[in-house]
Amino acid sequence: MGLNSFDEAGAPSHCSEHPYAPSTTSFIMFRKEDVEQSVSTRFEQQVSRYPGHLAIKKRDHTVTYDALNRMANRIARTILSYSGETQQPVALLTKNDALTFAAILGILKAGKIYVPLDSSLSPTRAKFILEDTEAPILLASNENRSLAEVLISADRSLINIEDLGSGWPDENLGLKIPPTTLAHVLYTSGSTGEPKGVVDCHRNILHHVMRVTTLV
C-alpha cells in the first residue's frame, strides 16, 4: 500500500460522496451536519456537553469524557511534534485500556491515519503492516515495549504513551480536519493471500456509528 498509495488514490469513492440515506426503521433520524465533520470534532462536541460523564469504565478505573479528551490532546501534540501536520499513518501497539482510546483519539485529532497493531501479531506480520503503510511513528505502552523495540527502525520513531506527562498543553488543538480525511487502515487476516489494508474516512465512521446507536 504505502503512503504514496493514499496520496494517489485519495479517499475511497464512498468518502467523496455523502452516504447519508433516510432510515426505514425506528432509528432516530440524525442531521446531515452530524457526519459532515471529523471524528475528533464530534467527540469534542460530546465532551463539551457531558464533561463529567463516564467515557470509560473498567474494573480497576474509570475515565470521564473531559479526562479522556485531555489525554488525547497531549498525545496529539506529541505526535505533531514528531511529524508536523502532514497526513501520515501512525501505528498503535497497546492493550485495550483508557490509554488505547486516548491514543486513537490523539492520532485522529492530529489529522493522522490510525493503524492498529494487535499485540498478538507475530513480529513478521506487524513489520509487514508498518512497512506497507510506511508509518513513520509507532505508539506503544510499557506492556508492549519489547515488541515495539523489535519493530522500530532508523526511519521510524517510537513514542511510549505512558511516558507522556503534563508537559504538553491539554486543550483542544482546533485543527480543521475535513470529513473526507482518511481516518484508519484496517488489515485483512491474509488467510487467502497477502493481507490488504482497508481504508475509511471520518465521515463514514461517524455515519456507521450513528446508524447503530441512538443519539442523546
Give residue 197's pLDDT.
Answer: 92
Q: For residue 15, what is the domain's CATH number?
A: 3.40.50.12780
Four-residue CA torsion sign, 189, 191, 197, 200: negative
Domain range for 142: 2-212
Q: How far apart are CA 176 and CA 187, in angstroms?
A: 27
For the record, the C-alpha cell of 39 comes out as 471524528
pLDDT of residue 68: 96
Type of residue found at 108: L
Count of domains observed in the chain: 1
pLDDT, residue 7, reads: 46
For the chain, report the end-to-end CA distance as a whole number of angstroms: 39
DSSP structural state of residue 110: T
Question: pLDDT of the chain along its 216 residues, tens only?
Answer: 555 445 444 455 457 655 444 545 555 566 778 889 999 999 999 999 999 999 998 888 899 999 999 999 999 999 999 988 889 999 999 777 888 999 999 999 999 999 999 888 888 889 999 999 999 999 998 888 888 988 888 888 999 988 886 778 999 999 999 999 999 999 987 666 788 899 999 999 998 888 777 544
Q: Name residues whose C-beta falls within 8 Å of residue 3's C-beta, 6 or more positions apart in sequence.
A: 88, 89, 133, 134
User: Residue 26 has what pLDDT?
Assistant: 55
Q: Are 151 and 130 in contact (CB under 8 A)?
A: yes
Q: Are 29 and 15 in contact (CB under 8 A)?
A: no
- Give the global pTM: 0.84
Position 158 scores a pLDDT of 93
